[in-house]
Chain A
Amino acid sequence: MSTNGLSLWWSGFEKQAGTLYRRHPSALIGSIVLILMCLIAILAPFLGTVDPQAVAPINRLQSPSAEFWFGTDMLGRDVYSRVVYGARVSLSVGISVAILSTVIGLAIGLITGFLRWADGIIMRIMDGLMSIPSILLAIALMALTKASIENVIIAITISEVPRIVRLVRSLVLSLREQPYVEAATASGTPLIKTLVKHILPNTVAPLLVQATYVCASAMITEAILSFIGAGTPPNIPSWGNIMAEARSMFQIASYLIVFPAIFLSLTVLAVNFLGDGMRDALDPRLSRRM
């Protein structure tokens, strides 16, 4: 019996992952699809793609065929390559926003949950941010800066942070009242350590679930921003701006919209399935207790 910290942690993780996949096959499918998309994004150059920005007017608006698997767009660019490279943008935006907003939201939420005086001020700011619909907020922020993936990530993060702060804050407020937190005080545990050891770990599970939803939401927001021209610069393909450019072509070249839409929907669905499954699997109270 090894009580080595790392091996114990890994066995615990393995057990939870096992529970997750056994009980929620949808989460399994979601994970597989997500990993597949990530692989597609990373291995883009090796998947039979050409330069996604290569313009070849001679090939414009070709239907899907053996040569051009997803057809070509109005500038002759290979849609298949654009969609595959587009995965990079969408996934990097989705995952970056998820991570950034979670980390920032966690930090702010912990502070507001514990310090009464900071709570009032910070929550009013968060409420203010939340009263503006997140798409509009992102658009407004993008209007202030030039179009780039980094700015898109920052803009969407800012619009997603308040919801995470609210979640963390309510978690902290309820966790503070838990008897085991009181027991930690009675055991002589200092405040910071109580926060880190008792409160923080119990916020991880709900946060992880929320992060998956944020990821899905961010990918859609990025697509919307690109669709209206306020997002990723037009030369870098993202699923959103591929669809944006093809807006007027829908009747003659529907495949231009259909393929990126399918990829986007599948990815968002996969992330949501994963989140739902994790929500059930990570709740220790749902563990068998007989």
Chain B
Amino acid sequence: MAGQSDTSAPILEVRDLKTYFHTRDGIVRAVDGVSFKVNAGETLAVVGESGCGKSVTSLSILRLIASPPGHNEGGQILFQGEDLLKASEARMREIRGNKISMIFQEPMTSLNPVLKIGKQISEVLVLHQNMNESQARTKAIELLSLVKIPEAQSRVDQYPHQLSGGMRQRVMIAMALACDPTVLIADEPTTALDVTIQAQILNLMRELRDRTGASIILITHDLGVVAEMAQRVVVMYAGRKVEEADVKELFASPLHPYTRGLMNSIPKLDEEKCARLEEIPGMVPSLREPILGCAFAPRCTHATGKCRTEAPDLEQKKSEHFAACWHSEKFLFGVRA
């Protein structure tokens, strides 16, 4: 990949990550050679629809993929210079929740329903920060206030079912930030929440990010959330990265037909109402068979013979803007898709 404009080394670098699942019906190439970097204090969004491999990528970083049937088939994940794929399980345990933490999509099932929330937050602190129970409890209350849960003193002894969805997500964020992680992975953190609650949570995340300086990898399918939160964006399709750019640049001039199709097919509140939404015909390809040529070719209106036989490499098309497409030049000069 071409050079960085940022002078410091990236905090996290994923190189050519491959995660395959060996199932009865064949090998599912969930992540098939994905690379990206995350710099200190930066928010990187990984965007794609279901099945594109974004969640599997984030789980692979923390080595949370169940080993049969999932296998890491290659690549490196460099965290502060150390390759996480080669680290021991004990080392990974030190890192999880401590240096790299994760927030999940479903706060109800990600929190243990039979433990009080204070206990769940304390658990992380006791484990990684060597605190005793009472120190951890005090810090837990502090954290609950940090994530703006009212009456933290009494809430700390409540169970997850006594809290609303938005509150539970705040608890998850508190747990994730407890040990002041360097990288926070947020996997669809607001998808299961109502839109007004989502606005609260995104607001909170922005505040906390500014305060702690953590890097965030934000996994989502919602382009609106991307526009509000991210500085750089990686677009994934069928287990591969198809485009990467700075957020303003991506929205102003998307260079991959999939990205363009995605942006054009969403009805937008702030635009003039159009009569018909642009459709992306067809469906996401099955990941069980190896894909010949460009993964998006069967659905792409610009596909040519070359696209169907040769998979395009990720190339730099503009400054800090990469796309994997043989025909990006069409879009460089503002041709409407």
Q: Which residues of A line the B interface, CB within 8 A?
A: 23, 288, 290
Chain B residue with minimal CB distance to A23? B24
B288 proximal to A (CB < 8 A): yes
State the majority secondary structure of interface residues on B. Answer: loop
Chain A residue with minimal CB distance to B28? A290
Measured between beta carbons, the chain B residues less than 8 angstroms from A288 are 25
How far is A290 from B286 in the complex, measured between Cα atoms in Å? 7
Closest 5 CB pairs of A and B: A290-B286, A288-B25, A290-B288, A23-B24, A290-B287
How far is A288 from B24 in the complex, measured between Cα atoms in Å? 10
Measured between beta carbons, the chain A residues less than 8 angstroms from B24 are 23
Chain A residue with minimal CB distance to B288? A290
Measured between beta carbons, the chain A residues less than 8 angstroms from B288 are 290
Chain B residue with minimal CB distance to A288? B25
Chain A residue with minimal CB distance to B24? A23
Chain A residue with minimal CB distance to B25? A288
- Within B236-274, the residues touching A (CB, 8 Å) are none
How far is A23 from B25 in the complex, measured between Cα atoms in Å? 11
5 CB contacts below 8 A, A to B, read A23-B24, A288-B25, A290-B286, A290-B287, A290-B288
- B277-311, CB under 8 A of A: which get 1 and which 0? 00000000011100000000000000000000000
State the majority secondary structure of interface residues on A. Answer: loop
A68 to chain B, nearest CB (A): 49
How far is A198 from B287 in the complex, measured between Cα atoms in Å? 33
Measured between beta carbons, the chain A residues less than 8 angstroms from B287 are 290
Chain B residue with minimal CB distance to A290? B286
B126 to chain A, nearest CB (A): 40
A203 to chain B, nearest CB (A): 27
How far is A146 from B24 in the complex, measured between Cα atoms in Å? 54
A20 to chain B, nearest CB (A): 14
A105 to chain B, nearest CB (A): 34
B109 to chain A, nearest CB (A): 19
A287 to chain B, nearest CB (A): 11
A27 to chain B, nearest CB (A): 16
B41 to chain A, nearest CB (A): 39
B237 to chain A, nearest CB (A): 16
Measured between beta carbons, the chain B residues less than 8 angstroms from A290 are 286-288
Measured between beta carbons, the chain B residues less than 8 angstroms from A23 are 24
How far is A196 from B307 in the complex, measured between Cα atoms in Å? 52
A281 to chain B, nearest CB (A): 13
- Within B17-31, the residues touching A (CB, 8 Å) are 24-25
How far is A129 from B25 in the complex, measured between Cα atoms in Å? 46
Chain A residue with minimal CB distance to B285? A290
How far is A288 from B286 in the complex, measured between Cα atoms in Å? 12
How far is A288 from B23 in the complex, measured between Cα atoms in Å? 11
A290 to chain B, nearest CB (A): 5
- B1-41, CB under 8 A of A: which get 1 and which 0? 00000000000000000000000110000000000000000
How far is A288 from B25 in the complex, measured between Cα atoms in Å? 9
How far is A288 from B288 in the complex, measured between Cα atoms in Å? 12
Measured between beta carbons, the chain A residues less than 8 angstroms from B286 are 290
A288 to chain B, nearest CB (A): 6
How far is A258 from B294 in the complex, measured between Cα atoms in Å? 67
How far is A52 from B286 in the complex, measured between Cα atoms in Å? 62
B224 to chain A, nearest CB (A): 28
How far is A290 from B25 in the complex, measured between Cα atoms in Å? 11
How far is A290 from B50 in the complex, measured between Cα atoms in Å? 11
Chain A residue with minimal CB distance to B23? A288
How far is A23 from B286 in the complex, measured between Cα atoms in Å? 22
B103 to chain A, nearest CB (A): 27
How far is A201 from B79 in the complex, measured between Cα atoms in Å? 54
How far is A288 from B287 in the complex, measured between Cα atoms in Å? 13
B286 to chain A, nearest CB (A): 5
- B187-202, CB under 8 A of A: which get 1 and which 0? 0000000000000000
A285 to chain B, nearest CB (A): 16
How far is A288 from B28 in the complex, measured between Cα atoms in Å? 13
Chain B residue with minimal CB distance to A22? B24
B12 to chain A, nearest CB (A): 30
A283 to chain B, nearest CB (A): 15
Measured between beta carbons, the chain A residues less than 8 angstroms from B25 are 288
How far is A23 from B23 in the complex, measured between Cα atoms in Å? 13
A24 to chain B, nearest CB (A): 12
B282 to chain A, nearest CB (A): 15
How far is A23 from B287 in the complex, measured between Cα atoms in Å? 22
How far is A80 from B287 in the complex, measured between Cα atoms in Å? 58
A90 to chain B, nearest CB (A): 36
A60 to chain B, nearest CB (A): 56
Chain A residue with minimal CB distance to B284? A290
A76 to chain B, nearest CB (A): 56
Chain A residue with minimal CB distance to B287? A290
- Within B32-86, the residues touching A (CB, 8 Å) are none
B287 to chain A, nearest CB (A): 8
How far is A290 from B288 in the complex, measured between Cα atoms in Å? 9
B26 to chain A, nearest CB (A): 10
How far is A65 from B286 in the complex, measured between Cα atoms in Å? 63
B33 to chain A, nearest CB (A): 21
How far is A290 from B24 in the complex, measured between Cα atoms in Å? 13
